Amino acid sequence: MKDRYEYIFGPVLSRRLGRSLGIDLLPYKTCSLNCLYCECGPTTNLTLERKEYVPTREVLRELEEFLKQNDLPIEVITFSGSGEPTLHSGIGEIIHWIKGHTPYPVCVLTNGTLLYRSDVQKDLLPADIVIPSLDAGDEETFRRINRPHPGLSLSQLVEGIRTFRQAFRGNMPLEVFVLPGINDSWESVKKLGERIRYIKPDTVQLNSLDRPGTEPDLKPEPIEALRDIKVALESQTGIPVHIVVSQPKQHRLKTTVSPSLRGKILSLIRRRPSTLDQISRVFLVDPETVEQLLEELQGQGLIRKVETNRGEFFTTKEGCSKRSGAERNTQTTSE
């Protein structure tokens, strides 16, 4: 198997989706938002321009090759990675190909900012799961957390998600990222609840930090506070609210290392900083073997360890995916 793919990564263990093969359609770091909590670091290309950022044909070629050779179980194919996937104009063609050539459900993790556009809606309608995000119920909090492109507003975002919800026949949970002292006051939660009631998602997924974010001082929301917010939102909206938590599955772990494992680990952690334990569970390799490999990669100057109050995370030397020229629920990583 090829050591390193340019556009395909994982499969990663997602807290929400299970074993998920990732597709990354954006050069680092292209997004319509610049969220405080982004695990990929600051947005360097803050844009609303929709275009073919990487060649659609190459993505399909890699995907086909990966699926022919892959020996790890996959439960879903997910669009996520170094930015907002709906900015790529070929996403509809790629979803269409996956639905026609593979048995896997397709999930799109989106910040929802382009869902007001009819072409984006049309592209995402064949997907099985679309998970947009909404972190704020008022414009000021939206600007503070998500730091959007100047051409965006909260009301446009909310209208876009609602319009898509009305047309989409698949499963549409709404993700809400909670940050202590920023959007967890009762007033903020009430305003969020009003927007959620208007959108009518299937469920709400409450998330908080589990990997390093853009701003180093951010802390995860305590689980007790998440439980209180869940109860408040459910009683206000009547919509089920789930707290995203790790639910490790038990697998027999390998002690031998395949020649491609180094490349797979690099491919994973350059998009999603991960702990040793997370890497072990993603690739079903025992922790001691992973530790040895990580030490080797550190010794070669290819990766670095980041100490946070949530543990030690490994990432590539340059940080989240940085393909020159040319990505929230996991045991490892988000979505």
Q: State the nearest-atom distance from the C-beta of 305 to ligand SF4, in Å.
A: 22
Q: State the nearest-atom distance from the C-beta of 156 to ligand SF4, in Å.
A: 15
CB closer to ligand SF4, 37 vs 168: 37
Sign of CA pseudo-dihedral 222, 330, 191, 140: positive
Q: State the nearest-atom distance from the C-beta of 272 to ligand SF4, in Å.
A: 11
* Separation of alpha carbons 59 and 25, rounded Å: 8
Q: Which two tokens stand for residue 72?
A: 């790890």
CB closer to ligand SF4, 31 vs 285: 31
CB closer to ligand SF4, 11 vs 148: 148
Environment class of residue 82 by beta-carbon count within 10 Å: exposed (0-12), middle (13-18) or buried (19+)?
buried
Contact between 10 and 21 under an 8 Å Cβ cutoff? The reply is yes
Start-to-end CA distance of the chain, whole Å, equals 25
Q: State the nearest-atom distance from the C-beta of 48 to ligand SF4, in Å.
A: 12
Collapsing DSSP states into helix, strand and coil, what is residue 207?
strand
Q: What is the DSSP letter of 256?
A: S
Count CA atoms closer than 13 A to 242's CA, side-chain side: 13
Strand locations in 201-249, DSSP E?
Answer: 204-207, 241-243
Q: State the nearest-atom distance from the C-beta of 83 to ligand SF4, in Å.
A: 5
CB closer to ligand SF4, 56 vs 80: 80
CB closer to ligand SF4, 283 vs 313: 313
* Separation of alpha carbons 285 and 85, rounded Å: 30
Smallest CA-to-CA distance from 70 within 21, 25, 6, 16 is with 21
CB closer to ligand SF4, 110 vs 188: 110
Contact between 224 and 308 under an 8 Å Cβ cutoff? The reply is no
The residues of the shown chain that bind ligand SF4, judged by CB under 6 A, are 31, 33-35, 38, 40, 43, 83-84, 111, 327
CB closer to ligand SF4, 157 vs 294: 157
Q: Which two tokens stand for residue 310?
A: 């949530």
Q: State the nearest-atom distance from the C-beta of 213 to ligand SF4, in Å.
A: 9
Contact between 92 and 139 under an 8 Å Cβ cutoff? The reply is no
Q: State the nearest-atom distance from the C-beta of 40 to ligand SF4, in Å.
A: 5
